[in-house]
Amino acid sequence: MSKKLANKVAIVTGASKGIGAGIAKQLGAAGASVVVNYASSKTDADKVVHEITNNGGAAIAVQGDVSKSKEVTRLFEETEKTFGGLDILVNNAGIYWTTPLGDFTEDAYRRMFDVNVLGTLLASQAAFKFFEGKGGSIINISSVAATRPENTLSVYGATKAAMNLLTWSLSQELGSKNIRVNSLIPSMILTEGIASLGLLPNTDNPYVNAMITRTALGQLAMAEDIGNAAVFLASDEARLVTGQEIDVTGGFK
């Protein structure tokens, strides 16, 4: 991969595993210095950092719950202390629970909205202070659940719909300051979490096979596919791309 993000600094929230880890690795491979944020899994975050640095990149792991303003402030302070600034924010941190209406709880609702929506706002607000005067790129990791939720995903889908709305609204508010805001829209992604559940393609798992069938290309995305799209949006190649919701789903329907 070309070093199209050389001399750039990126924060990826929720980057210790899954989509976030894939994004962090691809940003690092493209030349960015990467802050791998994690809420609880230091061991996994350190593995991501090790992979980036082993490939000649620069990265650190910083703990922080993005739903808590003090921890977000510390995350950005550590970034500035280590790398001197910020150019790219990827709002990936999120939690996912199935919530059938009969089992719906207020605590589950609040926790999902606190992390997925409030966390996006707090991190974007903190990034704005670094971007002001020079510009930057905010990339929100949404989901097809924002518009095409499966059964029991009403609350999760609502958080991602809110994220899409924030993408459009903030792109309009911040555009005059050369700050671009976009969303990436994955569906099911082949991550280690999926693998640990035995939910892999080329198996007899009916749910996975049904998801594959619903894609025009007949295959599911991997975390690095989302990472590659994030590299594009973070680069100067996307200098006129803002306020967009970009599916990276293989044509999911």
Domain extents in the chain: 9-190+222-247
Interval 153-159 mean pLDDT? 93
Quick one: pLDDT at residue 221?
84
Q: Do 64 and 75 form a contact (C-beta atoms < 8 A)?
A: yes
Render pLDDT for 218-250 as a digit per residue (tens, 0 to 9): 888 888 999 999 999 999 999 999 999 999 988
Render pLDDT for 41-92 as a digit per residue (tens, 0 to 9): 999 999 999 999 999 999 999 999 999 999 999 999 999 999 999 999 999 9
**Entry pTM:** 0.93
Least confident among 34-38, 96-100, 209-213: 209-213
Q: Please, what is the average pLDDT of the chain?
A: 92
Q: Which long-range contacts (CB under 8 A, 24 or more apart) does 164-172 make?
A: 164/140, 164/245, 166/117, 166/120, 166/121, 166/124, 166/140, 167/140, 167/142, 167/243, 167/244, 167/245, 168/243, 170/124, 170/138, 171/242, 171/243, 172/243
**CATH class belonging to 9-190+222-247:** alpha beta
Quote the CA–CA distance of 146 and 167 in Å, as a whole number: 13
**Choice among 38, 96, 109, 156 that is catalytic:** 156
Catalytic residue status for 109: no
Quote the CA–CA distance of 197 and 6 in Å, as a whole number: 37
Quote the CA–CA distance of 36 and 14 in Å, as a whole number: 7
Amino acid type, 204: D
